[in-house]
Amino acid sequence: MGTMVSRKRQGCDETAIAQERLQHAVACHRAGDLAQARELYQAVLCTHPEQYDATRLLGVIAYQQNENLRAIEWFRKAIGIDPANPAVYMDLGNALKRLGEHDAALGNYDRAIALRPEFPEAYTNRGNTLIECRQFAPAVASYDRAIAISPDFAQAHYGRARALRELGFLEDAVAGYDRAIACRPDYVEAFYDRGNALLDLGRADDAVASYDAAIRLRPNHAEAYNNRGNALLALHREDDALASYAQAVSLDPGNAQAYNNLGKALHARHQLDIALACYDKAVGLSPALAEAHNNRGNVLAELKRLDEALASYDRGIAVQPHHAELHWNKALLLLLAGNFEHGWPLYEWRWKRAEFAARKRAFPQPVWLGEESLAGKTILLHNEQGLGDLIQFCRYAPLVAERGARVILETPPCLLGILQSLDGVHEFVAKGGPLPDVDMHCSVLSLPLAFRTTLDAVPAALSYLHGDPDRRRIWEEKLGPKTRRRVGLVWSGSAGHANDHNRSIPLATLAPALLDGVEYVCLQRELRESDKEALQRRGDIRFYGEELVDFADTAALCELMDVVISVDTSVAHLAGAVGMKTYVLLPFHPDWRWQLDRTDSPWYPSVHLIRQQISGDWGHALCVLSATLTSLMETGPGSC
């Protein structure tokens, strides 16, 4: 009897000791001393191998230390001990989710919920898993259940907002992030993701404020600095954006996207060598980052390192074969280098770019790219880009007509007057108006592909457009008798053009190259505020502004000049198309159609090209221009 009592007492003592160890282990666990907690949990299991809490909490420690397979073993042992405890099913779901076993994770969350229907954490983790599976609508429903149970559960509001953003409900997503922050004012992730949603909405100012809040809570938040830079760039605060990107890479030197964005900011400031170094760093850190390969290629192209640029585009295409920007920029590079054979097919990738997708016309008729016979067919030619593009590529209309087609050309009203002089067109229609029945259609910028145009076979007539004699007589009267050389001037194009900062020249910069004793006529219709003072200082530049009603007026005025001097804009194409002797001032990295280095144009026999020798520096080009004008002066009045 005494022995039996002794054994009972010993069993009670061991249970008490195990309970003390368990309590001590839990305290160590909460304090973050995982090694001591693990040792104590294991000691508990030495005497009580079926102790549920010690078994489950060993799984929790393994999960905290990213030992996910070991965690799963412990959780499954705990389920074997107490299969009715919902918490361990959620733990097991979390470990399985981390390993990417989403279906198994969802099954365990569902078991946890079945055992405890009022379990907001399980519904929330279920929603998180559904987001990873890109099942956003079911995720929202799961978060809704969590919020119905616990209205102040910040994680559920946050997850729901993430899912709504993915579904495109951006305003609702922002409201969801706001609710998460109201429940937990120090919710860094909610402030950060709220900034992303605001940036998606175009509310860049508010996005910056949200990123700033995230950074105040977590000063080393590299991603917040990176995306803050994106918002600042959208606000045209380039210097602030540059500083934000620099802070991002300082905090996280392994962040390839931050280096890529820093490169973009430096690129925009024309700091090409430093931008290139950033892109090199980005692709070194993340060889699969196609955007960085693309941006790197763009910088190399601007530096005229064409072979390296081409290799960079090809590396990007290798990692992301359907990346439209890479194919597009490769096309521009090949065309710039005169490799039309391979450039024109790649140029069709423009339709897959976001910018061009919105311009693509939804014609029911098929596009013609040179394969089908046009005999007896009616074809619509249209333009998806600028006025200069239509002027340049309408030259193909007679060739289309020679294939036996009835050609209809769609044109903006401002070009209708001058394009009516084009051969081969049977009917003109104004853009935006009703279209006649046609069998096929083609953008004029796809016609070089349709005709398999090579550099040596560009259809380059001396002139293929002609000014209207009546308009010319009107402008002769306005100009009055000619007593000096007349030079037509265009120093700026559209201010909204993406490359305007490179191609346009302030009049104050151009003016010193304009010699006295010449009658200058401005051929551009619009005058920028920044050029008005310089124009007033030059009494020898005649400006007609809105008297130039359309391009028929501009063409007539061009034909009354001895020579036209223009930056790369639509008037340069117009002057070349009517056969005027024209000098085009080009930036160091020109548009592809002007090729590299050559002083003539394969598209316009009457055009002479004057190029920057240093990127951003017009000094040499304007010296050449001044010498050209001096030579012109020496020949005296008359035609060139």
Chain segment 109-164, per-residue pLDDT in tens: 999 999 999 999 999 999 999 999 999 999 999 999 999 999 999 999 999 999 99
**CA separation for the pair 628, 181 (Å, rounded):** 67
Q: Is residue 457 scored above 90 in pLDDT?
A: yes
- Tell me if 190 sits within 8 A of 158, measured CB to CB: yes
Does position 638 have pLDDT exceeding 50, yes or no?
A: no
**Which tokens go with 427?**
């009917």
Cβ 313 vs Cβ 307: under 8 Å? no
Dump pLDDT digits (tens) for 31-48: 888 899 888 888 888 888
From the CB of residue 67, how many other CB atoms can be counted at a distance below 10 Å? 15
**CB of 518 closer than 8 Å to CB of 485:** yes
Percent of the chain at pLDDT exceeding 90: 77
Structural contact between residues 319 and 293, judged by C-beta atoms closer than 8 angstroms: yes
Q: What is the mean pLDDT of residues 531-542?
A: 88
pLDDT of residue 588: 92
Q: What pLDDT, on a 0 to 100 scale, did the predictor assign at position 12?
A: 56
Q: Is-contact 77 55, C-beta < 8 A?
A: yes
Instruction: Please give the order of strands across the beta sheet that includes 519-522.
Output: 541-543, 519-522, 486-490, 563-567, 582-586, 607-611
Residues 6+ apart with CB under 8 A from 315: 283, 287, 293
pLDDT at 635: 65
Name the DSSP class of 368: P
- Higher model confidence: residue 234 or residue 496? 234
The helix/strand/coil state of 427 is strand
Beta strands (DSSP E) in 508-606 are: 519-522, 541-543, 563-567, 582-586
Q: What is the average pLDDT score of the chain?
A: 92
Q: What is the pLDDT of residue 14?
A: 72
Q: Is the pLDDT of residue 633 over 80?
A: no
At residue 341 the predicted structure's pLDDT band, cuts being 50, 70 and 90, is very high
pLDDT tens, residue by residue, 52-65? 888 889 988 888 99
pLDDT score of 8: 47
- At residue 373, the pLDDT reads 96
Calpha distance 218→313 (Å, rounded): 37
Span 521-527, mean pLDDT? 93
Q: Report how far residue 42's alpha carbon sits from residue 37's, in angstroms, rounded to the nearest whole number.
A: 9
Average pLDDT over residues 281-307: 97
pLDDT score of 494 = 77
